[in-house]
Chains A and B, each alone.
Chain A
Amino acid sequence: MRTASINSAGAFRKQVVDFTLSVPVQATLYTSLCALTLWTLYFSSYPPAHNSLHEVRHHTLMVGCH
């Protein structure tokens, strides 16, 4: 019983690792991180981000500022 539970835990861990390292998940993580960076730079209303990139936002197509 104990051996079976250890084996199932090991198999579950391996499944999680395989899932995490799969191409779609990696691609999703990478895309999400880049999208978050884009949001911070171009779309966030957080005053430091807005004020420091104010002119860049106004001079980039499809980026709303006010």
Chain B
Amino acid sequence: MLTLRFGRVGLSPALLAIFLGVFSSVSDSWATPNHQKLPSSVNPQTEIRTDVNAGKSLVPASGNSPQLVTASLGKARVKLTTPPINQVLPNDKPVSLAVQAVDQQGKPLTNAKIQLAIFTPSKTPWFSTDFPIVEGTQLLNLEAIALSGKLQVQQVLPIRGNYQLIVDVQPLDGKSFQATRQVLKFSVPENPVKYRNFAILAVILLCAGGCGGWVIGGKQVIQPGEIAPQQVRLLLSGVIIIAIASLLVVNISAEFAESHQHQHQAPHNQAKNQLSLPLNVQWLGDDSTHVGQLAVMGVKLTDPKTGIAVKDVDLKIKAIQLEHDQTVFVYQGLSDVNGKLIWQQQFFDGASHQVEVEVSPKAGAINKFPPFTFFKEIEVEGIAPPLMGRFISLGYFTAILVVGLLLGLWLRRDRIFRASASCR
């Protein structure tokens, strides 16, 4: 028969370890495997080619001035202009990223084709972000004709960390300058509100643990007819009441939120395209996708009378997350010779999105038509975060609670010891 000396053996850490160990063997089948899939032409590990005249990459300087990152490669160079770091927050407003192809003297290169691929920071399972499925994935893949050598997008960056921007620049005629590929980095700091909220939560957990330890560490006096000391009964009853109250608040709030969401859905479902558009717009992209996956987006414009593709039309793309009416992506470009504009984009939030394509004639175009907007709703399926990552974070929070508990136990026992010592 196994005898356990509870005065010496601490069961709480052992049980917690067993609890975590059992669930660590469960595969993350709840989440879609999140492998970083790269197009064959894009490889973030590509070595940067340099020549004897190549300069070094400039480290972005902190401060209030716009950041300029330049990496030299052969005869062409790429300049990345971003807002100052102190003005960028994850999952906030769209961040303006401007890529400019220049020659060695810094003069802008014209008539270029630029491909921009944005990759999110690497996975951090031991320090999870609020979008763990998005970690280590590709956020955007866009190839466009840049007559002025400049490509600009506005993209919401969902998580903190170092983003990789892989820029491929090619001459449209294939010979005016040397094609180049550069890997640039852009760092996004964590939202300071998260640190504040975590500190508040840590204090609450320490206090809860300390109170629990204080009560549990007291002299356990059982009165005749009782099954447990009064203090312990009060403590456990109190915690159960808090748990019940929390679940009640959660469930009642969810009921109100669900009814509010149903009211909001009606106006979006009523948004439709005009019955007759000046140009035929064919949607070439996906109708639905899920978080962590690059979705194909694209339109094709043709003349409604002749069916011929309409090129060099001004297209302003805007992607909006409908749940919070949040603009997540903005890009303005031109349709190509086939009347198409195709790009790949990841929707990092599991909610319905709407892609708006504002079509207008290019300045100085011969064929004029009234500008119009084409709408396309995209269903984005959310994916629960990996179980292991959630358990790791829960482990951290529980560890803080246990620290408070041990502190409370120690303080109570120390007080009892001093009281008994003074009585003698």
**Chain A interface residues toward B at CB < 8 A:** 17, 19-43, 45, 47-49, 51-53, 56-66
Contact = CB atoms under 8 A, between A and B. Distances in A.
Given A35-B394, A43-B390, A60-B194, A48 B12 contact: no
Interface of B: 4, 6, 9-12, 15-16, 30, 91, 127-134, 190-191, 193-195, 197-198, 201, 205, 208-209, 212-213, 216-217, 220, 222, 227-229, 232, 235-236, 239-240, 242-243, 246-247, 249-251, 253-255, 257-258, 291, 348-350, 382-386, 389-390, 393-394, 396-398, 401-402, 405, 409
B130 A41 contact: no
Contacts of B208: 34
B6 A33 contact: no
Residue among B212, B229, B405 facing the most chain A CB atoms (10 A cut-off): B212
Given A27-B12, A28-B12, A35-B401, A41 B191 contact: no
A32 B243 CA distance: 12
Contacts of A26: 216, 232
Residue among A47, A59, A61 facing the most chain B CB atoms (10 A cut-off): A61
Contacts of B255: 48
Contacts of A38: 394, 397-398, 401
A66 B382 contact: yes
A66 B134 contact: yes
A59 to B, nearest CB: 5
Nearest to B8: A24
Closest 10 CB pairs of A and B: A48-B254, A52-B253, A64-B385, A61-B198, A24-B11, A22-B6, A64-B132, A45-B384, A61-B194, A43-B390
Contact of A64 (B10, B129, B209, B349): B129
B258 A51 contact: yes
A45 B201 CA distance: 20
Contacts, number: 158
B91 A58 contact: yes
B212 A30 contact: yes
B385 A49 contact: no
A58 B217 CA distance: 36
- Secondary structure dominating the interface of A: helix
A52 B257 contact: yes
A63 B247 contact: no
Nearest to B232: A26
A21 B228 CA distance: 7
A31 B401 contact: yes
Given A45-B384, A64-B393, A65-B130, 20 more contacts: A19-B4, A21-B232, A27-B213, A32-B15, A33-B236, A33-B239, A34-B209, A34-B239, A36-B243, A37-B243, A40-B250, A42-B393, A42-B397, A48-B251, A52-B257, A56-B197, A60-B194, A65-B131, A66-B130, A66-B383
A14 to B, nearest CB: 11
A47 B320 CA distance: 23
Nearest to B228: A21
Nearest to B227: A17
A53 B91 CA distance: 17
A23 B217 contact: yes
A38 B243 CA distance: 9
A63 B242 contact: no
